[in-house]
């Protein structure tokens, strides 16, 4: 069974397209086809749609298509490291292609790739050799003197980057800067008076509106596809700092780095990822909002790197049970499960169990929204963070730190040493205090080790070996204290537990 994957879409290969045409059976009552005049066809899509009811993208493509470029990134890789499909992005390798000479696609592929295609002989046997690899992507010109935006994964590790324009001119490009966390890269070519795109505001776009992508899917330059915005501010696994625009625009390998246009002909995003079981388009594509990308571009051009803010907390999502446990009416905000010792949040007084409601005056919708909001803050500045604590709001002043690749929180292993345990029937756990040795080993100052879990605790996912640190945000140090807290709790509680090297809140329905 194929697993679903989030895939970078930069590697380009050629495929054959089978075209089919529909027909309408003859009927006297069938209305005559609508005639669109050349003047209407030359209009921008929004105006054409208003007059005809059908978007026409020809004016947009004619005006801004020349500013979209094809990007070729050459690498030197080990043959054995080639990866199939799109998994992992655009760093070389080709998908598996037909190898049977009787297959109708065989000659088509061989025409484009000769004997270098995997499965067709050539380099496949040179497992230990350094083999040149080329991946194709897209980009677009944002200034007439040659600055180009694309995805970082398109040019990641490339030895030579070549830019080809729609009029067949080719330029050797310099990578000005690349930011992997946002997946944005800036290129520069030595040229003047180049056509450029118009930058729009993705905040003004709405779910359901038409959008257009131009790029080089599978190497077919300046291919135009269209669809609608499916969702906004979408968070993806391992992509914490970008609120993606989700669309149903057909985006395939090679579209990476190309522009996403609105009906006014403005770029509102950079096509970056697809969600796929097969490596090809399946109706889910994701674009980086252009306002985020332009901030990265300006920073890369000015300094060569991007500074992001950090708080030094680990957060988790809220649900209705957790919200009820903390006395909140709705499950909004980001629940702090751990605070990095000595970090900006710790210095400001943030605690596990706090629910972050807003940062710098901007509401925090959920835990997925918080990382990008904090990352947008300038390191060294002081900002207000509003939290929910003890069933009331509290404002804290935080001096923003600088984001690095280091972990934002760390914790030790929970011990699993046999000892006498005390049972709490309502919660359904048998617990005992941590020994001094266990506290030192796990870098914990308190906690109750779960020996057995059943009833409500087991249903909530509590396991033997977990360490209970707090109840509804209140630290717990003794077995009797836990019993008292549970006895006086309502229908639900939130347990802060240490599991492996992470701290999380677990909502428990006590019934």
Instruction: List pLDDT tens digits, range 223-282.
Output: 999 999 999 988 776 666 788 999 999 999 999 999 999 999 999 999 998 887 777 778
Q: Do 219 and 171 fall within a single domain? A: no
Q: Do 88 and 176 fall within a single domain? A: yes
Q: Is 153 a catalytic residue?
A: yes
What's the confidence (pLDDT) of residue 417? 29
What's the confidence (pLDDT) of residue 238? 66
CA atoms of 345 and 398, how far apart (whole Å): 6
Q: Which of 467, 452, 456 is nearest to 427 (CA)?
A: 456
Following DSSP, what letter does each residue of 235-299 receive, concatenated?
EETTEEEEEEEEE-S---TT-TT-EEE-TTSEEEEEEEEEEESSSS--S-EEEEEHHHHHHHHHH
Is residue 411 scored above 70 in pLDDT?
Answer: no
Q: Which of 9, 133, 256, 367 is catalytic?
A: 256
What's the confidence (pLDDT) of residue 100? 45
Q: Is 256 a catalytic residue?
A: yes
Start-to-end CA distance of the chain, whole Å, equals 39
Q: Which of 183, 221, 354, 466 is catalytic?
A: 183
φ and ψ of 286, to 5 deg: -130, 140
What's the confidence (pLDDT) of residue 277? 76
Is residue 19 scored above 60 in pLDDT?
Answer: no
CA atoms of 399 and 377, how far apart (whole Å): 10
What is the mean pLDDT of the segment spanning 146-171? 94
What's the confidence (pLDDT) of residue 220? 92
Higher-confidence residue: 152 or 405? 152
What's the confidence (pLDDT) of residue 6? 53
What's the confidence (pLDDT) of residue 58? 93
- Which long-range contacts does 497-500 make (Cβ < 8 Å, 24+ apart)? 497/450, 497/462, 497/466, 497/467, 497/468, 497/469, 498/411, 498/412, 498/414, 498/442, 498/444, 498/447, 498/466, 498/467, 498/469, 499/414, 499/463, 499/465, 499/466, 499/467, 500/413, 500/414
Is residue 13 scored above 60 in pLDDT?
Answer: no
Higher-confidence residue: 486 or 68? 68
Model confidence band, residue 137 (pLDDT cutoffs 50, 70, 90): very high
Residue 224 is assigned to a structural domain of this protein? yes
| Lowest-confidence pick of 35-49, 93-107, 291-305 | 93-107
Tokens of 447: 């906690």
What's the confidence (pLDDT) of residue 228? 96
Is residue 79 scored above 60 in pLDDT?
Answer: no
Q: Do 168 and 234 fall within a single domain? A: no
Residue 50 is assigned to a structural domain of this protein? no
Q: Do 484 and 432 fall within a single domain? A: yes
8 Å CB contact between 167 and 154: no
Query: 130 is in which domain, residue-wise?
Result: 67-188
Is residue 404 scored above 60 in pLDDT?
Answer: yes
What is the mean pLDDT of the segment spanning 390-416? 64
For the chain, what is the domain count?
4
Q: Do 142 and 214 fall within a single domain? A: no
Residue 444 is assigned to a structural domain of this protein? yes
> Domain with 73 in it: what CATH number?
2.40.10.10
8 Å CB contact between 13 and 97: yes
> Domain with 491 in it: what CATH number?
2.30.42.10
Residues of the chain with pLDDT > 90: what percent? 41
Q: Do 161 and 222 fall within a single domain? A: no
Residue 432 is assigned to a structural domain of this protein? yes
What is the mean pLDDT of the segment spanning 423-448? 80
Residue 496 is assigned to a structural domain of this protein? yes
8 Å CB contact between 331 and 318: yes
Average of per-residue pLDDT values in the chain: 78
Model confidence band, residue 39 (pLDDT cutoffs 50, 70, 90): low
- Name residue 506's beta-bridge partners: 495
Q: Which of 153, 182, 338, 492 is catalytic?
A: 153
**Which of 155, 188, 221 is at the close of a domain?**
188
**Which of 132, 167, 188 is at the close of a domain?**
188
CA atoms of 290 and 260, how far apart (whole Å): 9
**Which of 297, 332, 362 is at the close of a domain?**
297
Q: Do 229 and 269 fall within a single domain? A: yes
Residue 289 is assigned to a structural domain of this protein? yes
8 Å CB contact between 396 and 370: no
Q: Do 356 and 434 fall within a single domain? A: no
SS3 319: coil
What is the mean pLDDT of the segment spanning 304-332? 89
Model confidence band, residue 301 (pLDDT cutoffs 50, 70, 90): very high
φ and ψ of 186, to 5 deg: -120, 125
Q: Do 260 and 181 fall within a single domain? A: no
Q: Do 102 and 176 fall within a single domain? A: yes
Residue 18 is assigned to a structural domain of this protein? no
Model confidence band, residue 80 (pLDDT cutoffs 50, 70, 90): very low
What's the confidence (pLDDT) of residue 78? 53
Which pTM was predicted? 0.62
What is the mean pLDDT of the segment spanning 434-450? 83
Q: Do 237 and 277 fall within a single domain? A: yes
Is residue 418 scored above 90 in pLDDT?
Answer: no
What's the confidence (pLDDT) of residue 48? 64
What's the confidence (pLDDT) of residue 408? 30
Q: Do 367 and 476 fall within a single domain? A: no
Residue 28 is assigned to a structural domain of this protein? no
């Amino acid at each position: 069974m194929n697993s679903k994957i989030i895939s970078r879409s930069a590697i380009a290969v050629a495929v054959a397209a089978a075209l089919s045409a529909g027909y309408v059976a003859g009927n006297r009552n069938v209305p005559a086809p609508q005639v669109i005049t050349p003047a209407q066809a030359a209009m921008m899509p929004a105006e054409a749609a208003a007059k005809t009811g059908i978007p026409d993208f020809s004016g947009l493509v004619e005006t801004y298509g020349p500013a979209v470029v094809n990007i070729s990134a050459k690498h030197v890789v080990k043959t054995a490291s080639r990866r199939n499909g799109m998994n992992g992005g655009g760093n070389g390798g080709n998908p598996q292609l037909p190898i049977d000479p009787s297959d109708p696609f065989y000659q088509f592929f061989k025409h484009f790739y000769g004997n270098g295609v995997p499965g067709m002989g050539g380099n496949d046997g040179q497992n230990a050799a350094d083999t040149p690899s080329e991946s194709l992507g897209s980009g677009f010109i944002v200034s007439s003197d040659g600055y180009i935006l694309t995805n970082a994964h398109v040019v990641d590790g490339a030895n030579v980057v070549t830019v080809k324009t729609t009029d067949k001119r080719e330029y050797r490009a310099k990578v000005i800067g690349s930011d992997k966390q946002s997946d944005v890269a800036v290129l520069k070519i030595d040229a003047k008076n180049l056509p450029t795109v118009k930058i729009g505001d993705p905040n003004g776009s709405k779910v359901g509106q038409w959008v257009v992508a131009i790029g080089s899917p599978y190497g077919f330059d300046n291919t135009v596809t269209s669809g609608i915005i499916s969702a906004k501010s979408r968070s993806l696994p391992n992509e914490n700092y970008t609120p993606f625009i989700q669309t149903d625009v057909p985006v395939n390998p090679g579209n990476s780095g190309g522009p996403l246009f609105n009906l006014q002909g403005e770029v509102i995003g950079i096509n970056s990822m697809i969600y796929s079981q097969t490596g090809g388009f399946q109706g889910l594509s994701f674009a980086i909002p252009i306002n985020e990308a332009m901030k990265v571009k300006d920073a890369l051009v000015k300094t060569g790197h991007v500074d992001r803010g950090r708080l030094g907390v680990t957060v988790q999502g809220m649900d209705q049970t957790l919200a009820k446990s903390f006395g909140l009416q709705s499950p909004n905000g980001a629940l702090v499960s751990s605070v990095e010792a000595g970090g900006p949040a710790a210095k400001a007084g943030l605690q596990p169990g706090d629910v972050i409601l807003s940062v710098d005056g901007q509401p925090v919708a959920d835990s997925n929204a918080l990382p990008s909001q904090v990352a947008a803050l300038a390191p060294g500045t002081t900002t207000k963070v509003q939290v929910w604590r003890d069933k009331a709001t509290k404002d804290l002043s935080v001096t923003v730190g600088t984001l690095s690749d280091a972990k934002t929180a760390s914790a030790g292993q929970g011990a699993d040493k046999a000892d006498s345990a005390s049972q709490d029937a309502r919660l359904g756990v048998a617990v005992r205090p941590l020994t001094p040795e266990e506290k030192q080993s796990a870098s914990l100052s308190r906690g109750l080790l779960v020996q057995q879990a059943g009833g409500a605790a087991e249903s909530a996912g509590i396991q033997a070996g977990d360490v209970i640190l707090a109840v509804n945000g209140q630290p717990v140090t003794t077995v009797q204290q836990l019993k008292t807290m549970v006895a006086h709790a309502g229908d639900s509680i939130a347990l802060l537990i240490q599991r492996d090297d992470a701290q999380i809140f677990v909502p428990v329905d006590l019934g």
